[in-house]
Structure 1
Amino acid sequence: MWTLALACAFFLCIHLMISGTSMKEQIIAKIGGVAYYILFSLFSIGGLVWMCIAFGIALGDPMNVVLWKSGPFLRIAGLFGNFFAFLLVIGGLTTPSPTNLLALHKLPDKSIYGIVRVSRHPVLAGIGVWALTHIVCNGNLAAWIFFSSMLALCALGANNIDRKRLALMGDVYESIKRRTSIIPFVSIIEGRTAFAPEELGVARMLMAVSLYSAVTVLHELLFTGRAI
């Protein structure tokens, strides 16, 4: 269990204490941008692999106490939650967004469009929903540590991106922030933007449905455990 906690702490630190601070610029100034991104990618992949291996081991650890048991209702709700997570991630990866890397060079023609109306950070929001769903439906200590770390990374990462974009784009990004939200649907519920389902795209939705169905069916084979 302690190995899992250490792996999660390492993964969070390299993203929030290095990538999310001025330390990143200091390292780039010393070793160059290409070397930094190669090393950061290697550390990130290594940290994630370490987390996954440690999580698998921690599931059989005597310290892995059961905090709560999820009944049929929670498991059914978890399936819907995971489906929504897939919609957010696939939509976010395939829709021009003011928060993705391409926006550092040029904002999309329509800065608030499609899935961005639901969340200004759709990919991080989707991973966050996935993590929260797994926390609720897997009420043991190992799952709580693993998925809470992912949820924290998404929440802190989204705020970190907002801070950087605001410093870079000023009032332009401030206007985008006022009309959108990090948490899905909050800006729509508050009336700061309108929901436009036709902008989501049929192809994106079909892709999300297909990938979700494949992962759900193959979940036990891929991750040695049933889906939720």
Structure 2
Amino acid sequence: MWTLALACAFFLCIHLMISGTTMKDQIIARIGGVAYYVLFSLLSTGGLAWMIIAFGIALSDPMNVVLWKSETFLRVIGLFGNFLAFLLVVVGIVTPSPTNLMALRQLPDKTVYGIVRISRHPILAGIGIWALTHIICNGNLAAWIFFGSMLALCALGANNIDRKRMALMGDTYASIKRRTSIIPFVAIIEGRTAFAPEELGVARMLLAVSMFSAVTVLHELLFTAKAI
């Protein structure tokens, strides 16, 4: 269990204390941008692999206290939550967004459009919902540490991106923030933007549904546990 905690701390550290701070600029100034991104990618991949392996081991650790049993109704809630997560992540990846890396070079023509109306950080929001549903459906300490770390990374990461975009874009990004939200659907409920499902795109939606269906069917084969 301690190995899992250490792996999660390492993964959070490299993302929040290095990538999310001025330390990133200092390292780039010393070793160059290409070297930094190669090194950061290796550390991120290694850190994630360490977390996954440690999580698998921690599940059989005597210290892995079971906090509650995952009943069927919790798994049904998790299934719907995971569908929303897939929608946000898959559609978010293939939709131009003011918060993705491409926006650092050029903002999309329509800054508040499609999935961005639901969340201005659709990928992080989707991963966060995925982590939350897995916490709900896996009531044990190992799951709390593993998925809780992913949830914390998404929440803190979204705020870090907002902070850096505000410093870079000023009033332009402030306008985007006023019309959107990090938490899905909040800006729509508050009337700061309109819900426009037709902007999501049929092809994007079908891709998300297909990927969700495939992972749900193959969940036990891939992760040794049934999706529901």
The TM-score range, normalised by the shorter chain, is: over 0.9
Structure 2 Cα separation of the partners of residues 72 and 219 of structure 1:
16
**Unaligned stretches of 5+ residues in structure 2:** none
Structure 1 Cα separation of the partners of residues 31 and 57 of structure 2:
36
Structure 1 Cα separation of the partners of residues 179 and 209 of structure 2:
28
Aligned-residue sequence identity (percent) comes to 84
Please name the residue that 1:183 is paired with. Answer: 183
Query: 3-state SS of the aligned residue for 2:195?
Result: coil
TM-score, structure 1 length as denominator?
0.99
Structure 2 Cα separation of the partners of residues 55 and 117 of structure 1:
35
Partner AA of 2:54 in structure 1: A
Report 1:18-97 matches (<5 A).
Answer: 18-97=18-97
Please name the residue that 1:196 is paired with. Answer: 196
Structure 2 Cα separation of the partners of residues 186 and 70 of structure 1:
28
Post-superposition shift, 1:70?
Answer: 2.0
Report 1:186-225 matches (<5 A).
Answer: 186-225=186-225
**Unaligned stretches of 5+ residues in structure 1:** none
TM-score, structure 2 length as denominator?
0.99
Partner AA of 1:25 in structure 2: D
Per-residue Cα deviation, 1:74-110 (whole angstroms, up to 9, x for no partner): 1111101001100000110011000000100110000
Partner AA of 2:33 in structure 1: G
Partner AA of 1:64 in structure 2: N
Please name the residue that 1:145 is paired with. Answer: 145
Structure 2 Cα separation of the partners of residues 95 and 117 of structure 1:
12
Post-superposition shift, 1:123?
Answer: 0.2
Partner AA of 1:57 in structure 2: I
Per-residue Cα deviation, 1:121-145 (whole angstroms, up to 9, x for no partner): 0000000000000000100000000
Partner AA of 1:216 in structure 2: T
Partner AA of 1:95 in structure 2: T
Query: 3-state SS of the aligned residue for 1:166?
Result: helix
Q: CA RMSD in A?
A: 0.6
Structure 1 Cα separation of the partners of residues 70 and 224 of structure 2:
19
Count of matched residue positions in the alignment of Structure 1 and Structure 2: 228
Task: Provide runs of 4+ in structure 1 moved above 6 Å.
Answer: none
